[in-house]
Amino acid sequence: MHRSVLRILSALLLIGAVATALLYRDQLDIAALETWVNGAGAAAPLIFIGLYALATVLFLPGAVLTLAGGALFGPLWGTLYNLLGATLGATLAFLIARHLAGDWVQTRAKGLIARLIQGVEAEGWRFVAFTRLVPLFPFNLLNYALGLTRIRVLPYLLASLIFMLPGALAYTYLGFVGREAMAGSEGLIRNGLIALALLAAVAFLPRLITRLRQRPMLPVEELKRRLDTGDQDLLVLDVRTPEDFVGDQGHLAEAVNIPLEHLPDQIEALESNLERPIALICRTDRRSAQAAALLAGRGFAQVQVIQGGMTAWRAHGWPVEQAHAQAN
pLDDT (0 to 100) of residue 34: 76
Q: Rounded to an integer, what distance in angstroms lies between the CA atom of residue 271 and that of residue 300? A: 8
Kindly compute the dihedral angle of the four CA atoms of residues 215, 220, 225, 231, in this order, to the nearest 10 degrees.
50
Q: Which domains does the chain have, with CATH numbers?
A: 2-212 (no CATH), 220-315 (3.40.250.10)
Whether the per-residue pLDDT at 2 is higher than 90: the answer is no
Q: Rounded to an integer, what distance in angstroms lies between the CA atom of residue 328 and that of residue 325? A: 9
Read off the pLDDT of residues 30-80 as tens digits, 9 standing for 90 and up.
777 777 777 888 889 999 999 999 999 999 888 888 888 988 898 899 999
**Residue 279, C-beta contacts closer than 8 angstroms, at least 6 positions apart:** 218, 223, 234, 235, 236, 237, 304, 306
Cα dist. 217→49, 228, 258 in Å? 45, 19, 19
pTM (global) more than 0.75: no
Whether the per-residue pLDDT at 184 is higher than 60: the answer is no
Torsion over CA: 277, 282, 284, 287 (sign): negative
Kindly compute the dihedral angle of the four CA atoms of residues 261, 267, 269, 275, in this order, to the nearest 10 degrees.
130
Read off the pLDDT of residues 267-319 as tens digits, 9 standing for 90 and up.
888 877 777 889 999 999 999 999 988 887 777 878 899 999 999 999 999 99
Q: Rounded to an integer, what distance in angstroms lies between the CA atom of residue 37 and that of residue 84? A: 16
Q: What is the DSSP letter of 328?
A: -
pLDDT (0 to 100) of residue 171: 85
Task: Of 41, 80, 274, give the one whose Cα is nearest residue 168.
Answer: 80
Specify burial of residue 186 (Cβ count, 10 A radius: 0-12, 13-18, 19+).
exposed
> Contact at 8 Å (CB) between 79 and 172?
yes
Cα dist. 63→9, 22, 68, 70, 139 in Å? 31, 15, 9, 11, 11
The length of the chain is 328
- 321, β-bridge pairs: 251
Read off the pLDDT of residues 208-245 as tens digits, 9 standing for 90 and up.
555 555 567 889 999 999 999 988 889 999 999 999 99
